[in-house]
């Protein structure tokens, strides 16, 4: 199975990159399943049913999220009604939405080919306080493995140390752990001894002539003056960042991981 994970989609430029590039990538690499982090897809902060609809229409199968989950009030509609949209697992149990799900992987020739579990978890170091992701993930992965050995994890976290040790904990139990949140694509892609593919951060999909997707001057002014600024989404040098992972269908172990950086 070949999976593409798309790093944090930022605003309209990020959505445009997905719409223009994903169909080509699907055909070029014979992709079976596509996951994208969409928590910044609405104006660079949060997600709405409209922006989620654009992302799904472009060919994304599942959208994950993170700490900007609540930035748009319309997100409640997604949490309550859209089964292909995930929030971090480690919110309290009575919070709307779900942190993991099992999805069918279909092919035009064979119909349902396999099942894949997708898990969205948020870290706690330098992040809003949530339930312990390590303890919750162990139990959730065990539950998902009752249905499939192919499991992908989006670990939305700030600290690389937290991401690495989280993935090491799950080595051999999930197919891949890919980090999101920092918007800076790392160069540490690898497959751990147990067969779990790992990348500390997938980067972001959107305008890279920017500061993490935002116009440069307001961010610089904030650092120079300490005064509040409006951080508009930038426009230029739009890239799609992510990771492509090839997984053995029978064992669920990763065979290959490759960073993706495509421009429009």
Q: Is the pLDDT of residue 109 over 70?
A: no
Under a CB-based contact definition with an 8 Å cutoff, are residues 130 and 113 in contact? no
The per-residue pLDDT for 113 is 79
Q: Residue 106 has what pLDDT?
A: 81
Tokens 């690389």 belong to residue: 160
The span from the CA of 202 to the CA of 249, in Å, is 23
The total number of structural domains that make up the chain: 1
pLDDT for position 108: 55
| Cα–Cα distance measured from residue 231 to residue 167, given in angstroms and rounded to the nearest whole number | 33
What CATH number is attached to the domain comprising 146?
Answer: 3.60.21.10
Q: Is 68 a catalytic residue?
A: yes
Three-state secondary structure call for residue 101: strand
pLDDT of amino acid 19: 98
* Location of structure tokens 């920017």: 210
Question: What are the strands, taking DSSP E only, across 157-215?
Answer: 176-180, 190-191, 197-199, 204-207
Residue 110 has a pLDDT of 60
Q: CA nearest 166: which of 221, 225, 128, 125?
A: 125
Burial class of residue 32, CB neighbours in 10 A (0-12, 13-18, 19+): buried
Domain boundaries, position 164: 2-263
Enter the DSSP assignment of 168: H
Closest CA to 78 of 58, 61, 98: 98
> Catalytic: which of 68, 156, 183, 241?
68
DSSP character at residue 86: -
> pLDDT confidence of 81, banded at 50, 70, 90?
very high
């Amino acid at each position: 199975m070949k999976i593409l994970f798309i790093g944090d989609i930022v605003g309209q430029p990020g959505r445009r990159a997905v719409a223009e590039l994903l169909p080509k990538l699907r055909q070029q690499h014979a992709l079976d399943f596509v996951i994208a982090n969409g928590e910044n897809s609405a104006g660079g902060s949060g997600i709405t049913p409209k922006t989620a609809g654009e992302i799904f229409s472009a060919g994304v199968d599942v959208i994950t999220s993170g700490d900007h989950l609540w930035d748009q009030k319309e997100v409640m509609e997604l949490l309550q009604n859209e089964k292909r949209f995930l929030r971090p697992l480690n919110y309290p149990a009575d919070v709307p939405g779900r942190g993991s799900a099992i999805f069918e992987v279909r092919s035009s020739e064979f119909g349902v080919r396999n099942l894949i579990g997708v898990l969205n978890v948020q870290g706690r170091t330098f992040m809003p306080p949530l339930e312990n992701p390590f303890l919750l993930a162990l139990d959730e992965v065990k539950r998902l493995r009752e249905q499939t050995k192919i499991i992908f994890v989006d670990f939305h976290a700030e600290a690389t140390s937290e991401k690495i040790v989280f993935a090491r904990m799950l080595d051999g139990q999930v197919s891949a752990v890919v980090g999101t949140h920092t918007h800076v694509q790392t160069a540490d892609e690898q497959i751990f001894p147990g067969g779990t593919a790992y990348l500390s951060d997938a980067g972001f999909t959107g305008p890279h002539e920017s500061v993490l997707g935002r116009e440069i001057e307001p961010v610089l002014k904030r650092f120079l003056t300490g005064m509040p600024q409006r951080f508009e989404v930038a426009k230029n040098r739009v890239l799609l960042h992510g990771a492509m992972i090839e997984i053995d269908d029978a064992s669920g172990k990763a065979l290959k991981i490759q960073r993706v950086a495509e421009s429009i």
